[in-house]
Structures are given as C-alpha cells and as structure tokens.
Structure 1
Amino acid sequence: MNPYTLIEKYFPDSNARTIILEHSRLVAHKALRIAQCLAAEIDLEFVEQAALLHDIGVCRISAPDIGCHGADNYLCHGIHGRAILEAEGFPRHALVCERHIGVGLTADEILTRNLPLPARAMGPTCIEEEIISYADLFYSKTPGKLTTEKSVEQVRSGLARFGAEKLVIFDQWLERFGNPCLPCG
C-alpha cells in the first residue's frame, strides 16, 4: 500500500494535496516517534500509513481555504475518510479516519450536540489509533501554521471547549505517551 498514491488520487488540487501531505507527514513523524518511545508491541508500519491517510476524507468537505470544495461540514471528514479507505480495501486504516477526531466522539455526544454524524462511538480503540489521534492534536491544517507545533497548553485549551471529559482523555494520553514536544527519554 502506498499512502502517497491514494492522497494524489483523492486530492487532484495541488494546493489541497500539499497541505494534506505536509500535515499528514508531520502527524506521521510524531506518531512514529511516540510509538518508538513506548515499550509496547506497536505496528509501526500501520501507524505510519494510517497517520499519512487519517485526513484523506478532507477531500469531500467544504474547506475552501485549503482547496477543498465538497459539500459537507469539516466534522464529516472522518466518516468520508472511512468510506474512501474501505472502498480502497483498507478497513483497518479506514477506522483511524473515523476515530481520530479530537480525542474521539461518543454516540451520546453526537446525538446530544446534534452533530452531522451517524450516532455511533467514534473514538480510538487501540494503541495505534490513540497515538495517531494524539499526534494529530499538535498540528493544524491552517495555511501558514502547518509546521507550527502546538504546545500541550494550546492543545488543552482547544479541547477544553468540548468539555472536561475531553481533557481527562488528553491528560491520560499525555501521561501514557509523554509530551510529544520533547524528546523521549
């Protein structure tokens, strides 16, 4: 499997492709660094591939500032990514797309907040998914800020808007995976 071929296929607009590739490479690099620092059995090849593809569904959402002109809300990029990668024959990678939004979404949260998503659990369920979701929190796809790594405090501040339970998950990941802004040791 070549993630770059899939990204090229789904991002014909060179600006959007450049942004997604840069963001995804940064997330993949960070995720691999975190995974390598852990004393655990982690599928590093999967982590790299899935991290590179985690945002493939952005091609189907409306984000004109990054060159994407789909019809759906940004929040839907996870379910679109799942559909794309399932159709391409990569069901395990597809689940990363759906489950990487923030620190994950619950079915109750989707219903209560009336989010434009199917009412099902969409949170990481294995260590590889958690690592990719965690690494993703530290980077934006905002042009001009792509390579600027967010601090732990900035990530916490962004998650706080969605409730204290999101901070609890993030803090658990921070304790488990360490501060990814620092070298492992």
Structure 2
Amino acid sequence: MTPENLLTRHFGPATTACGIVLAHSRHVAAKALAVARRLRDPLLDLRFIEEAALLHDIGVCRTNSTGIGCTGEAPYILHGIIGREILEAEGLPRHALVCERHIGVGLTVEDIERQSLPLPRRDMVPLTREERIVCFADLFFSKKPRSLDHEKHPDEVRANLRRYGDHKVAIFEEWLAEFAV
C-alpha cells in the first residue's frame, strides 16, 4: 500500500484534512529528498526518507484540529504518538518512529515536563540521519491552508523554535550545517 493510500484510508471522510496533510507531506518529502541527494551518502535510504516524510503526520487524523478539518478527540500534540501507533499497526516500525520523533527538533523528557505536555515521559528525538532529515524538512512547511506552498526561510524557522528555547535553535543550526542548506 502506498503512503498516499494509507493516509487516505486513515483520514477517511476528512478529505479536506487529508488533502492538506498530503500537500504538506509532499513538500516535506521533496525537501527531504533534495537534502538527502545533496549529501551523496550511499548509506541513506532514499525510499524510506520519502515514505516516512509522506507519512510523518498521519496521526493528525485522530486529533482535534478543526482548522484543517479534523474532528478527532486527541489534542494536536499527540499526533506523533498516534502516528506511531497507526504505523506500528500497519507493520511500519521505522516509519512509526519518525512520526513520534518529528515534533519540532524533537522532544526530551525535560521538554515534556517543563511544558506539562500530555505525552509519555521519554525522549522523542530523531536519532538516525534519515529521521533528522525528515524532521529538518518538516520545519520549513506549515499545514495552514493558506501557507501550504510557502517554504519558510531559516530565520522564520529560528523564530518559531526560539519560543521553546535557544537550545532548540542550536539544534536547528547544527542541522543547517550538517545538511548544508
């Protein structure tokens, strides 16, 4: 089953939301693949990067995100955990970890506790280079319907991350250097 088919199946009648998430995810996938190809690292799994980028927000389907047409019960912050559950049930454990680890530049136990987030108390940060590439690419695109095609400038990404601390911006700066953007 293709990533697009999985998204369609899980979003079901929430076709507006599915279209938004799919458009967003296609932009993320294109940027992630461009980064990966530029690195010329033969160890990178390009197919996995593309699939994981297309599926990273599948968990949004069960959230209460009325701005994009989702009427689930879970708060949006849980979409990574929900996505992990969905993709593990679909037999995609590597993809599932990308879902869980892609929020911002990753969430640590300290982040979860400091912000009183309704998440399991465990680190959820991208560990592999493929995970970091998808997470990095996701930072440049919004799911806001009017902004779907806008790729953020690194300064916009920095400003968004700064709300969560300079340590988050520092991670982004490391990724900018690693991925030579």
- Give the Cα separation in 1 of the matches to 2:110 and 2:169: 17
Structure 1 counterpart of 2:134, one-letter code: I
Structure 2 counterpart of 1:92, one-letter code: R
Structure 1 unaligned regions, length at least 5: 180-185
Q: Identify the residue that residue 49 of structure 2 maps to in structure 1.
A: 47
Deviation at 1:11, TM superposition (A): 1.2
Structure 1 counterpart of 2:7, one-letter code: I
Q: With structure 1 as the length reference, what TM-score do the two structures score?
A: 0.95
Partner-residue secondary structure (3-state), 2:147 = coil
Q: Identify the residue that residue 24 of structure 1 maps to in structure 2.
A: 25
1:11 aligns with 2:11: yes
Matches within 5 A, 1:1-185: 1-12=1-12, 13-40=14-41, 41-179=43-181
Deviation at 1:112, TM superposition (A): 2.2
Structure 1 counterpart of 2:162, one-letter code: A
Structure 2 counterpart of 1:84, one-letter code: I
RMSD: 0.8
Identity %: 54
Kindly provide the CA deviation profile for residues 31-75 of structure 1, in whole angstroms up to 9, marking residues without a partner as x. 000000003220000000000000000001111110101111111
- Give the Cα separation in 1 of the matches to 2:114 and 2:16: 36
Deviation at 1:107, TM superposition (A): 1.1
Structure 1 counterpart of 2:19, one-letter code: T
Q: With structure 2 as the length reference, what TM-score do the two structures score?
A: 0.97
Partner-residue secondary structure (3-state), 1:172 = helix
Structure 1 counterpart of 2:18, one-letter code: R
Structure 2 counterpart of 1:144, one-letter code: R
Deviation at 1:113, TM superposition (A): 1.7
Structure 2 unaligned regions, length at least 5: none
